Structure 1
């Protein structure tokens, strides 16, 4: 594991407005602290550079691991995962109540691989909405 300097951690967290860049869960309601994720893992040649780092909740980071992509559950074709440095969340996902819907192959693949609609994930979004931590949820 590569040590990420505190200044870069702060930049990644502030750029994400304190919420996971994959599922949008605010860090304030997460049971475990959010983490800095290498979008392209070091083992795939990714760098510890702000352009390759995302702020991720522990669930998203664990489910993503070092994966770069998977299979779109709708088409069965290979798709890369959503990349928060190169893509816009609202173009790939839609929040309907407590459920995240993938709108594109990248969105659907990310929803599936990161298990964004598991019972625990939906309960987290309900708790965030009830606590009014983030108006976007």
Structure 2
């Protein structure tokens, strides 16, 4: 399969508004380039089609790995992970603890928070600094207009 074209990369970055689809970290505050991630990993049958691509920070992308499902801690049921291209972040997550932690509002949200370790100590420490600087939380919700 051919590599993802620069045009597709730019369109994905624009649609995602230069923001991680999971933890919502903004590119302008993240050390390192936000990565083009496969919502359905190639190892799980996903493709390089634009509809399967979104932005993720390195931490979220590395914790996600090849996962597509995870257990909801409230029901112990396997559920699909959050799809930032098709689902609205604010319907599945909320900021807590002075905007330093992400809480899941739905089974999908709760499972994603745990599977992607959205409240890992590094992310929380950085969010605390961003809150202090007035840079966080992001106020604009991102969703694909084609969804």
Distance 2:137 2:42 in 1: 34
1:27 is displaced (CA, Å) by: 1.4
Q: Which runs of 5+ in 1 are unaligned?
A: none
User: After TM superposition, what 4+ stretches of structure 1 lie above 4 angstroms from structure 2?
Assistant: none
The aligned length equals 137
**Aligned residue among 101, 104, 108 for 1:102:** 104
Report the Cα offset of residue 134 of structure 1.
5.4
Query: Cα–Cα, structure 1 residues 129 and 82, in superposed 2: closer, same or farther, change >3 Å?
Result: same
Give the corresponding residue for 2:127.
125
The answer as to whether partners of 1:26 and 1:133 remain within 8 angstroms in 2 is no
Q: Tell me the distance in 2 between the aligned counterparts of 1:121 and 1:35.
A: 16
Query: Does structure 2 retain, via aligned residues, the 8 Å contact 1:28–1:133?
Result: no
| Matched-pair contact (CA < 8 Å) for 2:71–2:79 | yes
State the Cα RMSD in Å: 1.7
Q: Aligned to 2:43, what secondary structure does the other structure show? A: helix
